[in-house]
Amino acid sequence: MNLDIRIDVSRARDAAVGREHGITRAELDKLQPRVSDAHAILQRERAEGQYGFWDLYKQSGVFDDVKAAAARFAQKGYDNLVVLGIGGSSLGTIALGAALLSPYHNLLSKGGRKGAPRLFVMDNIDPTVFREMMRICPPKKTLYNVISKSGGTAETMSQLMIVVDAIEKKLGSGAMKDHVVVTTNPRRSDAPPSLLHPVADEYGLTEFAVPLNVGGRFSVFSPVGMFPAAMLGMDLDAIRNGCAAMDQRCADADLKSNPAYLRAAIQYLADVNKGKSISVMLAYANGLYSIADWYRQLWAESLGKRYSLDGEEVFAGQTPVKALGATDQHSQIQLYREGPNDKLINTLETRKFARTLRIPPTLTSIAQLEYLRGASMNKLMAAELQGTLDALRLSQRPVSRIILPQINAHTVAQVLYLLEVETAMAGRLYNVNTFDQPGVEEGKKIARKLMGGEG
Ligand code: PA5
């Protein structure tokens, strides 16, 4: 079976939604030289190792270490894996968990989870939630993976302090190394010092490095995403193969053959030429919905920039929005069809679900339900999707589609890799620094200062 994901931008083109809202061949042709120049820059930056997300999947040694550590910790039979982290340090794991684990993973018996621990991702500092998590995941039965690239994020450090205190009180500090794994900046003289290093030293913790040239939101294929994935029994080789397959498809500059560049071009032109300042990601499977969340951070933090690379004030960036089909047909589609035509809608679809669910031929006294009797929920979902696509076209709303043959580690990795490359190209088209986040850093500093720490 062909496991390549498919990209279809035909519904974002003028032939589908008219010239006012759809991208024309002439617009794409005109953009091609800029895409080719940007490709050359991205390739140079990649070769020079300026940005490392492209090649994370090739780091066999890192994957071997992650797998070995996960196998070692798995022997201890933890009930729970708790990830402490925020933003780029957590959204990848949430996306992978939602896509690749059973929808009710945490409610299954250990056998039903094939021995894998339950997953709790603590990506906020809501005291009620965190306290309840600590009750549900007591230290004795839990492995906590604290993830912070900078190793100084207040939210994550406060979580860690609560966990360390609980372990010390319940199990003693000697047990820390069996219950806490650290993922942070590498120990290099040119790396900003991470506050997690002295913690790891003090307690002799297992530690993974996030490469210096990989930003948080581009780090899902580093130990940030891959150690939790290994602990949860995900197929890391299939993930690596998915990245490799998409890397290969994104190798040249031609908009006709490079799916990530084509998608970037469509999004960019939709924004600057057609006024589509909102980029909706509409997932048509619950398992894909958290990818929309991950994409929201990637697109927002990478492209939402005040200054261009030339120092001009540009206030660039589309606003990413997430939505779920069929649920949001009953919440958002009214706006998407009849409200301002300021959105490019990106669907995230799967041709096949893991399960087929037949609708039984029951309630026979109700003639109006005949069309559902004996059909399947799968068929109904496909019809809802098709109905939405066609309805959006009728209202001249552009749609760009990502279609998975099915949801698995190989196809999901392709999607994540595609969106990373797309974002890198989009940043070049907007002429902004894709890889920094001055707006986030500023807020972190202010909050630290307000707490009486160093600003
Ligand atoms: O993409 C990014 O760099 C940010 O969103 C970070 O991931 C987020 O702020 C968390 O930072 P850290 O991993 O340093 O704790």
Q: Mean pLDDT per segment of 10 residues, for the chain of length 455 residues?
A: 95 98 98 98 97 98 98 96 98 98 97 97 98 98 97 95 98 98 95 95 98 97 98 98 98 97 98 98 98 98 97 97 96 96 98 97 97 97 98 98 98 98 98 92 81 77
Q: Whose CA is nearest to atom 2 of ligand 1?
A: 216
| Cross-strand partners of 281 | 322, 346
Inter-residue contact 372 to 359 (CB < 8 Å): yes
Residue 217 Cα: closest atom of ligand 1: 1
φ, ψ for residue 251 (rounded to 5)?
-75, -30
Instruction: Report the distance separating Cα 295 and Cα 217, nearest Å.
Output: 9
pTM of this structure:
0.97
Instruction: Report the distance separating Cα 397 and Cα 390, nearest Å.
Output: 10
Domain boundaries, the chain: 6-46+239-438, 53-234
Contacts (Cβ under 8 Å, ≥6 apart) of 208? 62, 65, 66, 69, 181, 182, 183, 184, 222, 223, 224, 227
pLDDT, position 348: 98
Assigned token pair, 206: 């297992």
Inter-residue contact 302 to 434 (CB < 8 Å): yes
Identify the three-state secondary structure at position 215. Answer: coil
Residue 155 Cα: closest atom of ligand 1: 15
CB atoms closer than 10 angstroms to residue 79: 15
CATH architecture of 6-46+239-438: 3-Layer(aba) Sandwich (3.40)
Distance 336 CA to ligand 1 centre (A): 31
Element containing residue 206 per DSSP (H, E): strand 206-209
pLDDT, position 455: 60
Inter-residue contact 62 to 113 (CB < 8 Å): no
Alpha helices (runs of H) in 395-437, residue ranges in sequence order = 409-430
Inter-residue contact 211 to 186 (CB < 8 Å): yes
Residue 440 Cα: closest atom of ligand 1: 9
Ligand 1 pocket check for 153: Cβ under 6 Å: yes
Options 3.20.20.150, 3.40.109.10, 3.40.50.10490, 3.40.50.300; CATH for 53-234 is 3.40.50.10490
Instruction: Report the distance separating Cα 237 and Cα 218, nearest Å.
Output: 19
Please choose, from the candidates 178, 117, 193, the residue with its C-alpha nearest in 3D space to the C-alpha of residue 148: 193
Distance 52 CA to ligand 1 centre (A): 16
Assigned token pair, 361: 């031929």
CB atoms closer than 10 angstroms to residue 276: 26
Distance 215 CA to ligand 1 centre (A): 7
Among 150, 302, 419, residue to substitute to test ligand 1 (most atoms within 8 Å of Cβ): 150
Ligand 1 pocket check for 65: Cβ under 6 Å: no
Ligand 1 pocket check for 419: Cβ under 6 Å: no
Instruction: Report the distance separating Cα 230 and Cα 69, nearest Å.
Output: 9
Among 83, 84, 86, 195, residue to substitute to test ligand 1 (most atoms within 8 Å of Cβ): 86
Instruction: Report the distance separating Cα 195 and Cα 246, nearest Å.
Output: 36
Instruction: Report the distance separating Cα 261 and Cα 252, nearest Å.
Output: 9
Q: What is the DSSP letter of 203?
A: H
As annotated, the active-site residues are 301, 330, 444
Distance 302 CA to ligand 1 centre (A): 12
CB atoms closer than 10 angstroms to residue 306: 13
Burial class (CB in 10 A: 0-12, 13-18, 19+), 235: middle
Q: Whose CA is nearest to atom 9 of ligand 1?
A: 87
What angle do the packed helices 236-249 and 259-274 form, to 10 degrees? 60
Cα distances (angstroms) measured from residue 201 to each of 16, 23, 172, 227: 60, 55, 16, 20
Distance 147 CA to ligand 1 centre (A): 9
Q: Whose CA is nearest to atom 7 of ligand 1?
A: 88
φ, ψ for residue 356 (rounded to 5)?
-110, 135
Distance 26 CA to ligand 1 centre (A): 39
Ligand 1 pocket check for 440: Cβ under 6 Å: yes
Helix and strand numbers, DSSP H then E, in the chain:
16, 12
Please choose, from the candidates 96, 90, 116, the residue with its C-alpha nearest in 3D space to the C-alpha of residue 413: 96
